[in-house]
Amino acid sequence: MLFRVGLNLGDVIIEGDNLYGDGVNVAARLEAIAEPGGITLSGKFHDEVCRKLDMSFVSTGEKVMKNITNPIPTFKIEVSSLPKAEDSIKTETTIENSNIDSGSKTDDSTGGNPPAIAVLPFSNISGDPEQEYFVDGITEDIISVISRYHWLSVIARNSTFVYKGAAVDVREVARELKVDYVLEGSVRKAGPRVRITAQLIDSRSGSQIWSERYDRKLDDIFDLQDEITETIAASIEPELARSERQRARRKTSDNLGAWDLFQKAQWHMYKFSKENVESAINLYKQAIALDEEFASAHAGVSVGLIVLVGANFTQEPKKCIESALRYAEQSVVLDDQDPFCHYALGRSRAFSFQPEKAEPELKRAIELNPSYAHAYHGLAHLYMMTPGGDAEVSGQMMNEAIRLSPRDPLLWVFEHMKGATLMSLEQNDEASEWMEKASRHPSAGFWAFSGLAACQAALGDQLKAEESLAKALEINSNLSQAFLEDTYPGALLEYKKNLKTAGLH
């Protein structure tokens, strides 16, 4: 049996064997929205436990609940992050594998190779045969767009359109096409409006790992087709990557191929601590040892080294940047069509204070994959770390990054950068709101709290500014004005000035 669990923290009224009150009502509603085998918790509960427990939490947004006055912030626990008890009844392991069919294998069918996906023809359920061209166009465009994801193998249209109009078993289709994931959907038109639904299924377990519904006005059919295509493609990419990271973590250390090592490294990277980033770099290097021409692994080492510098996790920033440049340059030599490689080269050149060489690389990454949220962030960051950079343009790029990947594992980084662009424009009230959002994420690094402290100081709330700065220093005791000036010479002037007011020496 799969159980749903809802957790809330609040006052409870006890009358005999009965429990009453908003605290209980919220918990009951959280249980109802939890995934089968999943755990959903309120923002209040999350705030109390997120820094005390070694598990991953994912924000699922604010939910309006019946008979509850204000929307409730909600989070879910990534069950694959729960600790496993090897010698116990293995309750945690049962929860972790709750989305895996009891008759299926837990390891992947590809032997450690990059995953494959099939996009089945979307169904036209509007009863209007004239809409077939629109429905087929959406399917074809999604296939085209996700083919830009260099790490993902996409089955060609001719192979998937043979299933058009047929009632299919997704897992049977997956076996026939030898794919790990299947995307399917439907289109319903009613008057001037259209509703499009899509769901992403892990063919190895048969479980749904993502679904979404889009309601739009049918003004310009081609603009709508482009918008929906880009939105769906951008939404499923991080979900696929998250699924691959979790799958790699489940595999034993003696059964890891280069792709598995790469995905395991990615999992560590998103934890954003010194130890995790160093572990990621080591795993990327292990992947290279197994496959010297694995371009993405070379790029991964480069990005990891840059994170060590940007997060103030190293005492040798110059050495790290020099090494990051070498790995990034080699990655592009190995595969100049991989946007991740151009992103890595752009980031390493940005930290080498070569903005004129960094910019074309980051733009090339976006050209290769217009849905690449991290490349938009990288370009915005480049402009912000360049003296005289355009904060307004950077802010627009951060809007695009957040729109493209609203559930990104590093969403707090995006939100912090958005706040930094607003602070540079002296729009401190709005900047503070973004910094608040960034600081609420369980994986938030010291930047989220230093940004919040800077905003609070700019707004004249010295006590709160000092409290936020103390949290930043608790995470990174090496944070200093000298570090900021070395990393961002002549840039982020408002940020640095406000942090000085908050008390940073």
Q: Which helix (H) or strand (E) holds 491?
A: none
Amino acid letter, residue 7: L
76-97 b/e (C-beta count within 10 Å ≥ 16 → b): bbbbbbbeeeeeeeeeebebbb
Given a cut of 70, whether residue 254 has pLDDT beyond it is no
- Residue range(s) in the chain whose domain bears CATH number 3.40.50.10610: 116-244
Tell me how crowded residue 100 is: count the other CB atoms within 10 A of its CB.
18
Residue 377's closest CA among 324, 414, 351? 414
Q: Is the pTM of this model over 0.75?
A: no
DSSP 8-state secondary structure symbol assigned to residue 205: T
- Residue range(s) in the chain whose domain bears CATH number 1.25.40.10: 256-370, 394-505
pLDDT tens digits for 293-332?
A: 999 999 999 999 999 999 999 999 999 999 999 999 999 9
CATH among 3.40.50.1010, 3.40.50.150, 1.25.40.10, 3.40.190.10 for 256-370: 1.25.40.10
Amino acid letter, residue 453: A
Given a cut of 50, whether residue 86 has pLDDT beyond it is no
Given a cut of 50, whether residue 260 has pLDDT beyond it is yes
- Residue range(s) in the chain whose domain bears CATH number 3.30.70.1230: 5-96
Pick the range with the lowest mean pLDDT from 5-14, 128-137, 204-213: 128-137
Q: Which helix (H) or strand (E) holds 190?
A: strand 181-190
Q: Can you read off the two tokens belonging to residue 316?
A: 């040798």
pLDDT tens digits for 444-466?
A: 999 999 999 999 999 999 999 99
pLDDT band at 253 (very low <50, low <70, confident <90, very high): low
pLDDT band at 87 (very low <50, low <70, confident <90, very high): very low
CATH among 3.30.70.1230, 3.40.50.970, 3.40.50.300, 3.40.50.150 for 5-96: 3.30.70.1230
User: Domain 116-244 class?
Assistant: alpha beta
- For the chain, give the number of residues: 505
Tally of CA atoms within 13 A in the half-sphere of 332 that contains its CB: 18
Average the pLDDT over 337-344 and give the result. 94
Predicted pLDDT at 218: 76
Residue 249 or residue 490, greater confidence: 490
pLDDT band at 104 (very low <50, low <70, confident <90, very high): very low
pLDDT tens digits for 352-407?
A: 999 999 999 999 999 988 888 999 999 999 999 999 899 999 999 999 999 888 88
pLDDT band at 110 (very low <50, low <70, confident <90, very high): very low
The answer regarding whether domain 394-505 maps to CATH 1.10.579.10 reads no
Residue 336 or residue 113, greater confidence: 336
Give the DSSP letter string of 309-327: HHTT--S-HHHHHHHHHHH
Q: Can you read off the two tokens belonging to residue 284?
A: 């990327």
